[in-house]
C-alpha cells in the first residue's frame, strides 16, 4: 500500500496528458530546453574575458551648423 504501482503511474500520466495535451507538454519541454541552453550560454559568456569597449567619437565640425558658426566667429 505504501508503494505506487505501475497502474497508479499510468493513471497519473493519462490524467496529465488529458489536462495539458500532447502538444502543450511538448512545447513546455522545448521551452525548458531553450532555457537551459540560454543559461549555459550565459555562464559561458561570464567566463570569457570581457573585451574593452571602444567608444566611437563623432566630430561635430562635420555638421553644417557648426561649420557655419565657426566661420562666423571673428
Tally of domains within the chain: 1
In-domain check, residue 26: yes
Within-domain flag for 64: no
The answer to whether residue 61 is domain-embedded is no
For 34, the domain range is 22-47
Q: Which residues contact 17 (CB under 8 A, 6 or more apart)?
A: 25
C-alpha cell at 16: 496529465
Assigned domain for 16 exists: no
Specify the pTM.
0.40
Number of Cα atoms under 13 Å in the Cβ half of residue 73: 5
Residue 32 pLDDT: 92
pLDDT in tens, 3-51: 778 999 999 989 988 888 878 878 888 999 999 999 999 888 876 665 6
Question: Is 37 a domain residue?
Answer: yes
Amino acid at each position: 500500500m505504501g508503494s505506487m504501482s505501475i497502474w497508479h503511474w499510468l493513471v497519473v500520466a493519462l490524467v496529465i496528458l488529458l489536462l495539458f495535451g500532447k502538444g502543450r507538454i511538448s512545447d513546455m519541454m522545448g521551452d525548458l530546453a531553450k532555457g537551459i541552453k540560454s543559461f549555459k550560454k550565459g555562464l559561458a559568456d561570464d567566463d570569457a574575458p570581457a573585451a574593452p569597449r571602444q567608444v566611437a567619437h563623432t566630430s561635430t565640425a562635420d555638421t553644417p551648423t557648426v561649420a557655419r558658426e565657426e566661420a562666423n566667429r571673428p
